[in-house]
Amino acid sequence: MLQSKANRTMKRWSEWKLQQYLFQFWPIYILAIIFALISDTIADSDLSANPGAATIITDKSSFTVYRLNPKTREQTEFLHELLVNSTKIDFWKAPRVAGGQVHVMIQGQMKDEFLRSMKMRNISYSVMIDDVEKKIRKLKETAKRSHNYNRLRDDSSPSRRVYFNLAQYHSYNEMIDYLNQLNAAYPDRTEVTNIGVTHEGRPIKLIKIGKPRQFRKAGIWIDGGIHAREWVSPATVLYIIDQLVTKYDVNLQIRRLVDDMDWFIVPLLNSDGYEYTRSSTNPEVRLWRKNRSPITCRIAQNGIFSQPQQECCQGVDLNRNYDWHYGMEGSSNDPCSEIYQGPSAFSEPETRAVHRFIAKRRDTIKTFLTFHSYSQILMYPFGHREQTYTSDVDDLKSTAMQAANALRAAYGTQYTVGTDPASGGAEDWAKGRMGIKYSYLFELRPDGQVWDGFLLDESQILPTARETFEAVKVIADRTSAMFTPKSLPNIAMNNSKGLV
């Protein structure tokens, strides 16, 4: 009898807990059901500029970006649940802490239900971009008009100066042509090589910048464009390349940094995704984040009342694909998620190329810098779990603070310095697996208050790049001071310029 009474009590308690759970999270289920119904109207895949590669494009209606302002931990956790579990909400700026802004892009027919959900949770919001495609078209038209007037010239540069408009967003082919022109004009300090090939057959190009010396030099790795829609990232890295190569003869600090260190720079890691974002003004194309890996299908159930159905989506988030606490915090195993980690660590040719190159040079590469946008944050490891730090976190933080101060001195741009919860990231892998001393991730302009997120106007490229280079020089100076050049036997220098 006591056993029966205990069972009834336990049953009532379980039912009460289930009711509490459903009450807390039922808006997420409702949104999932709505999104599942909407997904039934998905049009045929748009081949766009990539014959043979398909992308699911939803019913074409206006997209709006909202600025959300969660004030409590519960509100922030609710948005984080949407980030992880919803594949129909595009988070431009993810929820991090209570009081921080969150930016989301919502398609027309989803707006009413989404905003009702925000109101129920007392999450305040405002419109950031009313019509995303209209904004994209306007930026494209403005860029076309201005390109004829923005060519850069520097009369103090050597006569072999390579002319390249650093104030505009370039195509993959234009970027590679520029690297090759630099190599042809400055063969004494540059070398261009392929480190891999993307899914669509594009070479992953790296430029090495450095002067042969009779000693071992520390190396600095830089990459940009890991996320396709973050156009200001490769634009900034191209500026850094330009400064290191063309200012060597006129700037003593740059000469020292190139003499004392080797720079290994990939301006555009995710070239497939980047070129895809350039192929259309459709927001689902221009705001594509992942690479262009083949379509993956899975059986999914989008809510407690829906029937299981097959979902097929394309692409992997390359910055969740590295082998450091892979598949944990801030990533997803759903192929339709913006933060899809891939089927396994290093499943993608882009991340494998980085791994192969750095693993061969882990004893000499002492700094790892990867550039993203946006939010104006300078991050150091680790991000796979909150309150998890490296043994030398004080040095990492101090160096980052000095870099942020140098960046701010250029234009007054404020950066936040710290860690961010996300697993499988490149900077964590570089520190945790490769043992690279200084490993940082830059989230470049804007901060979300003035400019339009990923749709950063070309007028902001040069200010962003200039201030960022000031921060990079601080980190490079710290690297040079920490790892002074070491003498090597003369015989070892016969192939000193080679990348292998």
pLDDT tens-digit series, residues 235-272: 999 999 999 999 999 999 999 999 999 999 999 999 99
CATH of 160-275+346-493 among 3.40.630.10, 1.20.1730.10, 3.90.180.10, 3.40.50.10330:
3.40.630.10
- Whether the CB-CB separation of 175 and 187 falls below 8 Å is answered with no
Nearest to 135 by CA among 372, 453, 448, 446: 453
**Residue extents of the structural domains in the chain:** 21-134, 160-275+346-493
pLDDT value of position 449: 75
Has residue 51 got a pLDDT over 90? no
Confidence (pTM) = 0.84
pLDDT confidence tier of residue 431, bands split at 50, 70 and 90: very high
CATH code for the part of the protein at 21-134: 3.30.70.340
pLDDT value of position 500: 46
Catalytic site positions: 443
pLDDT confidence tier of residue 157, bands split at 50, 70 and 90: very low
pLDDT value of position 330: 82
- Whether the CB-CB separation of 451 and 457 falls below 8 Å is answered with yes
pLDDT in tens, 260-312: 999 999 999 999 999 999 999 999 999 999 999 999 888 876 655 667 888 89
Long-range contacts of 159-162 (CB under 8 A, 24+ apart): 160/185, 160/186, 161/185, 161/246, 162/246
Look over the chain and give the mean of its residue pLDDT values, rounded to a whole number.
85
CA 325 to chain centre: 18
Q: What percent of the chain has pLDDT over 90?
A: 66
pLDDT confidence tier of residue 188, bands split at 50, 70 and 90: very high
Structure tokens belonging to residue 297:
């299908």
CA 368/CA 436 separation, integer angstroms: 7
Q: What percent of the chain has pLDDT over 70?
A: 80
pLDDT confidence tier of residue 377, bands split at 50, 70 and 90: very high
pLDDT confidence tier of residue 487, bands split at 50, 70 and 90: very low
**DSSP 8-state class, residue 255:** H
Residues 6+ apart with CB under 8 A from 286: 136, 229, 277, 280, 455
**Minimum mean pLDDT range among 16-20, 109-113, 254-258, 391-395:** 16-20
CA 343/CA 457 separation, integer angstroms: 35
pLDDT value of position 24: 53
Residues 6+ apart with CB under 8 A from 116: none
Give DSSP secondary structure letters for 200-224: TS-EEEEEEE----SEE-EEEEEEE
Q: Who wins on pLDDT, 89 or 301?
A: 89
Has residue 21 got a pLDDT over 50? no
